């Protein structure tokens, strides 16, 4: 009886009830349900190459820097480092900014450390975290470093891309995924 009395409470049930999502995720962006594996693959295998293709399409140069060796000997991945119009840009790419406090601190620290290391060799570096969301509307952000939304990214290249065009294109991509995976 004590087990039921202590576990089967309204408070405990309330804690475990499904809650409406308060943050956007890749499924929201694409308009389809995705597995966790697909969400992870989207960031590295779709979104990152998509961004790099935009850079090269407008005459930017994606730099061949994929790994940085820090003074302590540890290696750190460099998500995106490119040059455009005399300025170097380093971005950590995050599709999900709803990070727990520890992951936020680690991401902030990584951006600072890699920026400092790149600054030893390159002048005029702009850095931060690039997200797949067009702007800050309804996007949870727990990072202290500057967030670059896709609108900010497009502004670097003076690309006139509207919010609806951006999201409609990703929804169209989502439909292609849905048709291929029969969700």
Domain edges within the chain = 23-181
Measured distance CA(44)–CA(50) in Å, rounded: 10
Q: In the CATH hierarchy, which fold is given to the domain comprising 23-181? A: Trna Endonuclease; Chain: A, domain 1 (3.40.1350)
Measured distance CA(82)–CA(65) in Å, rounded: 9
Per-residue model confidence as pLDDT tens digits over 21-73: 444 678 888 888 888 888 888 888 899 999 999 999 999 999 988 777 777 88
Is the separation of the CB atoms in 82 and 60 below 8 Å?
yes
Question: Average per-residue pLDDT in the chain?
Answer: 83
> Which among 87, 7, 84, 2 is positioned nearest to 51, based on CA atoms?
84
- Report the predicted TM-score, pTM, of the whole model to 2 decimal places: 0.81
| Percent of the chain topping pLDDT 90 | 42
């Amino acid at each position: 009886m004590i087990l039921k009395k202590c576990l089967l409470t309204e408070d405990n049930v309330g804690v475990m009830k499904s809650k409406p999502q308060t943050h956007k995720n890749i499924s929201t962006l694409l308009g389809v349900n995705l597995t966790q594996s697909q969400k992870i693959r989207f960031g590295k295998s779709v979104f990152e190459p998509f961004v790099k293709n935009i850079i090269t399409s407008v005459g930017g140069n994606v730099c061949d820097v994929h790994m940085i060796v820090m003074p302590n000997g540890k290696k750190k991945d460099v998500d995106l480092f490119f040059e455009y119009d005399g300025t170097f840009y380093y971005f950590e790419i995050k599709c999900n900014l709803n990070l727990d406090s520890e992951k936020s601190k680690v991401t902030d620290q990584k951006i600072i450390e890699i920026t400092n290391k790149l600054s030893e060799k390159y002048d005029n570096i702009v850095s931060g975290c690039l997200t797949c969301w067009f702007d800050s509307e309804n996007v949870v952000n727990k990072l202290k470093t500057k967030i670059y939304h896709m609108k900010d990214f497009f502004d670097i290249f003076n690309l006139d891309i509207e919010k609806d065009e951006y999201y409609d294109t990703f929804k169209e991509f989502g439909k292609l995924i849905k048709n291929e995976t029969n969700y």
